[in-house]
Amino acid sequence: MFKALTVAGVLTLVAGSFAAAGPYPPAAGQPGSTAIHMDQAALLGWATGWQNYRVGSDCDLTWQTPEKALGKAAGTATEIVSLGRGGEITLTFVPPITNGPDWDFAVFENGISDTYLELGYVEVSSNGLDFFRLSNRSLTASPVGGFGAVDPTDIDSLAGKYRQGYGTPFDLGQLEGVDPLLDVDNVGYVKIVDIIGDGTYRDTSGEVIYDPYPTTGSAGFDLDAIGVIHQVPEPGSLLLLATAGLGFAWSVARRRGRSTGGPQNRFGCHLTTWGRMSILTALRSCVGGRPLLLECRRTGNSGAIPGRPRRCDRA
């Protein structure tokens, strides 16, 4: 989107700051907007890699640096990778994105105003091969020139809805159960596909999508970054949680110990047996919120049946 703006183009962009008219959330900073600022605390992580960058037409070499889309959003016009007209790129995430309450990730473009919006489809994948597109809507009624305006209240679930520094959020719950190949709790790949704004591309409902066209130099969607709101916890975090949970359970057991074979926690697990189990096995058995099968690594005996707690035999 970083184009050599003519005086006429700038005047068009300024004139394009019209009052909201459509049914969808308005521009960043306005009441009811879903825009997520790049410094918002809800963003826990960012893309860690990229693959399958297929640049489209009318894109100068200057803007073909995929690494600029990794890490935190820059919120500028120049620190981007341009997809070119009809191009695409896939960003990867370690740890993966997971489905949580409300929004799960946000896509940042470099739009220089609230109405100069270059749009893109968003697709996600668990295996990097099979991608599934999030549903979207566009109600822009007529073609938009190279410096024309798009009302953000006419756009829903298309990347590029908000100006630079603000991400467009997406909810993986929209795709839950859509196909066995997609695990919405383990999404490691997000693909952005540029929409050519001449009316040849359509939204989920079959309506024509218009955005600024034609543009040159860095035509098409200009990706700044993708931020993560919900992600799969890293193994180190799980181990820390497990250790903390066991420590807490042990302190409770010392205060509430019984004489039948050693101290128990409130889930009916004998804590004297934990020294012979791995931390994660003990956590699954005794700190999960309900009695589960207790596995002893040394002997293979079992217990922790509700109402009938048993100890692992000593080796």
Q: What is the pLDDT along the chain (315 residues), one digit of tens a residue?
A: 444 444 344 434 444 445 558 999 999 999 999 999 999 999 999 999 999 999 999 999 999 999 999 999 999 999 999 999 999 999 999 999 999 999 999 999 999 999 999 999 999 999 999 999 999 999 999 999 999 999 999 999 999 999 999 999 999 999 999 999 999 999 999 999 999 999 999 999 999 999 999 999 999 999 999 999 999 987 665 555 555 555 555 555 455 544 334 444 433 433 333 333 333 333 333 333 333 333 333 333 333 333 433 333 333
The predicted pLDDT at position 21 comes to 85
Tokens (6 digits) for 292: 């589960």
* Count of CB atoms situated within 10 Å of the CB of 291: 19
Q: To which residue do tokens 């719950």 refer?
A: 173
The predicted pLDDT at position 6 comes to 40
Q: Which CATH class is domain 7-228?
A: mainly beta
Residue among 91, 147, 159, 68 nearest 119 (CA): 159
**Sign of the Cα pseudo-torsion (133, 138, 144, 149, in order):** negative
CB 156 within 8 A of CB 171: no
The predicted pLDDT at position 36 comes to 98
- In the chain, where the domains are located: 7-228, 235-303
The predicted pLDDT at position 234 comes to 77
b/e map of 257-266 (b: 16 or more CB within 10 Å)? eeeeeebbbe
The predicted pLDDT at position 99 comes to 98
Peptide bond into 214 cis (omega under 30): yes
d(CA 51, CA 62): 19
